[in-house]
Structure 1
């Protein structure tokens, strides 16, 4: 099943994630750090993709190295438990949502990155 969010431009999603964090006093570097941890992209790669038309699905499909520790991310996002999401793509998308939520709630970056 294909979800609407899969076809959304990565640049649009990034902007929404960034806004969420900035509103709570966090910064772009922290957002980028979280994205890097989850996907394996370097900051320069993330920012280069903002200038392209890559969609959110392909942003994840082309990720250099999805972090093995992403399965340690627990909890709910939009009322859905992360561990019950069957579609691996949607699960990865929701992992990033959860990480940005934790960032926006003031959680320490080391804890967010499961160190």
Structure 2
């Protein structure tokens, strides 16, 4: 699979984790945050997203570049999500989840393709 597409999917996947994280904590744009089981579920989504995108990024670019890609995606897209949340809270909530799911699907396909590739 194309390494650039795998890297872009890994970067987009961070939006799913970031949007769930933003819903689990008090924010000015999205309110007081969820409580109880929903908060635990949001943390699980964040960790699962982080694991999936790290595996895809490492498969695409190697360990050092993959880790750097994941960290940079969380920082850059987190900053853009905060800007979007403050300007367009409803649209930012909808599109962050949609694009994050798209990135996670791309990561899943990439990991499956790399995992099914014959060795050697």
TM-score, length of structure 1 as denominator length: 0.32
Using CA pairs under 8 Å that are at least 6 residues apart, name the structure with larger relative contact order, 1 or 2: 2
- Tell me which protein shows more helix as a share of its residues: 2
